[in-house]
Amino acid sequence: MTHPTFPARLPAPVRAAAIMTAAGIAFAGLNVALQWATMTAGAPPPAAAFWQYLIALLLTLPLILRGGGLRTKHPLWHLLRVMLAAGGVQVWVMGLSVVPIWQAIALSMTSPFFVVAGAALLLRERVTAARLAATVAGFTGAMVILAPWSESFSAYSLLPVAAAALWAGTSLITKMLTRHEPASGITVYMLALLLPFNALAWGGIGFEMPPAEAWTALLVAGALTALAQYLLTAAYASADATYLQPFDDLKLPLNILLGWIVFAQAPGLGFWPGAALIVIASLSLMRRET
């Protein structure tokens, strides 16, 4: 398991965008499963996060047994990456338990600004006018969908913003590690090192177990977590972080559509022009980079 099997004849920017979009589809599915486990089935968020990542780790055991490129010369970077990710996971699951999925995902779209700024300062990537314009357009589309001026906006909606900031740091370290290590090893380290952090958070509520009704959703969330993390890492190994951010914005319409289907949370009128702006920005950037 070294790289997703996208057609080799595709131009590199198109292939990287396809991998990032596939990761977004996987993330959309796991977010819906996770919200169902917590909001509908009543699983405590810390317990849901622990079991989600334990299941994902168990499903990646073949990578460990086959070697999977687990040797690393950057253990401290892996640890810092996991610490940021663990904080983001706990805040994110807490947010999903109290706010609608479309609102949480829209607010998480602030992450590209952190990533683009960090990629320019820390990774020395080029922030071209086209990349910056596409990032701003994607964020604008997210805000049109979110409508922070509406009555549905609450203080709890700030939780996904905190998660977005933490995950932006995780993305930057991921991009740095892909220059030296394979996607399989980076994925396994993330899942394995997250367990102690999630266990501490779960212990804080007395290791309360999820109810029986939540386990199917947690199994689905775990499987999609393993897939999404691998695809995300492979995408960063294929292209610049600043280029990939607008394609990360595609998670928003995907999550909203799945939330609409599963939870009957119908999007408002602002969804359609906002989603169109995100898609147009992503496709325009991909065409320009190709």
d(C-alpha 166, C-alpha 114), whole Å: 9
pLDDT for residue 2 = 47
Q: Which residue has the tokens 């999404």?
A: 228
pLDDT at 148: 67
In a domain, 75, yes or no: yes
pLDDT, position 1: 44
The verdict on residue 26 lying in a domain is yes
Classify residue 4: in a domain, yes or no: no
Flag whether 98 is in a domain: yes
Does residue 261 sit within a domain? yes
Q: Is residue 31 part of a domain?
A: yes
List the structure tokens of 136. 């701003």
- Whole-angstrom distance, CA of residue 165 vs CA of residue 108: 8
**CB 31, CB 101: distance < 8 Å:** yes
Residues of the chain with pLDDT under 50: 1-2
Give this prediction's pTM. 0.72
What was the pLDDT predicted at 67?
A: 57
For 287, residues 6+ apart whose C-beta sits below 8 A from its C-beta are: none
In total, how many domains does the chain have?
1
Amino acid code (one letter) for 6: F
Domain for residue 224, yes or no? Answer: yes
Q: Is there a domain that residue 1 lies in? A: no
pLDDT of residue 221: 96
Quick one: three-class SS letters along 6-63? Answer: CCCCCCHHHHHHHHHHHHHHHHHHHHHHHHHHHHHCCCCHHHHHHHHHHHHHHHCHHH
User: Residue 165 is part of which domain span?
Assistant: 12-289
Predicted local distance difference test score (pLDDT) of residue 12:
80
